[in-house]
Amino acid sequence: MELNYLNTNNDYFTKFKSDFEKSMLSAAKKTGIPTSKDFLGFCNMFYESLFIDHSLFWQKAITKFEAESSKNKIEKFLSITFYIFINKTIKYLYDNQLSWNIMQQMYKNMDKTINYIKLSSSKPKPLQEKNENTTEPNTKDIFLLFKKALKNKDSIKLYNTYKGIPIEKNSQVIRITDNALYIKPHPIQEAAAMRQEKIFIKRNSTFPYDLEAKFEMKIIKGEKIFKINSYQISKKNLIERKYIRINPKEPVFAKIFLSPQDQILQVHDLSLGGISLVKNSKILFSIPEETKISLTLPEICTIILQAHLIKVTKNHKGFTYHFNIYQDRKIEKSLSEFITRNQLQIIQELKENYILTKN
């Protein structure tokens, strides 16, 4: 419904494009943003992606602007642009008695660009720096706090992922010395940790931080033991996901319905709530935020997903497109069957690759 509404109003947004370009030029002059020869063309694409074709090119534009100026300057530049633009267009909307929904859509799109700047520009402080407004310890203090928390514990919960599957098992604490922790991992955890080359230690009732740690494999009394002496507070969110996310064991492809030509992309990962697709191309495709995806689940069926594009990330070969997906009971059943099959195959593969047996 929203897609039809937006397409109906595209003619009006097209009319305002020249006003937006003029607004950007005025704002650039006020904020000292340089206007190179490709500035107008870039701004034109920024406007089209934000108001007409509803792709995420506007995020690329903001990244480019931020690379050339400070965050505060870009936020001020866009705020002035939007203020001038609203004043240019509001009289037209009033004189032509157009629906207030058009202005609401403008406000919504302009607001999300400012929020994007604030979110994308916030960077956590390094662990070595103490923040006076928090009790988070620096790296040197972590081990001492962790040792104290483990004083009366004989096990800890480790976390890894393997092809998107979370591996989370209790591991036995063997010994604690002045500078190292020795643990006996569950065989499945050992296999996943060896593949990932690190482990995550989950917070518990006595220790409030998730930790990321490097380990050395030791053989003690004929058993494989992890020696851990390097810790940092994990930036990875170890809170259980609402949905299990898998990387399909065999290549799976999906088709995005686009005009004038549909695009075939490979599935990178999949859950009941989302899907990410990769395209090995240097070209960033203009994909609407609301779109349809045809997904063929091998040996099950082909389903049509209503999808919402939430972000695009660059990888070493091209781009990854991340979507939230919506499904009815029939689609949910098909996805659940496919994800469960893959989950079992991936766990079995993990066991076989490292010659493991169930413990």
pLDDT in tens, the chain (359 residues): 333 333 445 666 777 888 888 888 888 888 888 887 678 777 878 888 888 777 777 887 888 777 777 778 888 888 888 888 887 777 676 666 665 666 777 777 888 887 777 765 444 433 334 444 445 566 667 777 787 778 777 788 899 888 878 888 889 888 888 778 899 998 888 888 988 889 999 887 778 888 898 999 999 888 899 998 888 888 776 665 666 788 888 899 999 998 788 889 999 999 888 899 999 888 887 788 889 999 999 989 999 999 998 888 888 888 999 999 987 888 888 998 898 888 888 888 887 766 544 44
The pLDDT assigned to 52 comes to 79
- β strands within 137-180, DSSP E: 155-162, 165-176
Strands 253-256 and 165-176: unpaired
pLDDT of 84 reads 87
- Paired residues of 310 in beta bridges: none
Partners of 294 in beta bridges? 255, 304
Residue 113, judged by CB atoms within 10 A of its CB (0-12, 13-18, 19+), counts as: buried
State residue 268's pLDDT score: 93
The number of C-alpha atoms within 13 Å of 48 and in the hemisphere containing its C-beta is: 10
Express the helix, strand and coil content of the chain in percent, nearest 5 each: 40, 30, 30
CA trace torsion 140, 143, 145, 147 (10° rounding):
-150
Query: For residues 88 and 31, what is the distance between their CA atoms, to the nearest angstrom?
Result: 19
State the pTM of this model: 0.52
End-to-end Cα separation, the chain, in angstroms: 52
Q: How many helical (H) and strand (E) elements, i.e. helices and strands, does the chain have?
A: 9, 12
DSSP alpha helices (H): ranges in the chain?
Answer: 2-15, 17-31, 39-47, 57-68, 71-95, 100-121, 139-149, 187-196, 329-353
Burial track 283-303 (b if 16+ CB lie within 10 A, e otherwise): ebbebbbebebebebeeeeeb
* 163 and 346 Cβ atoms separated by less than 8 Å: yes
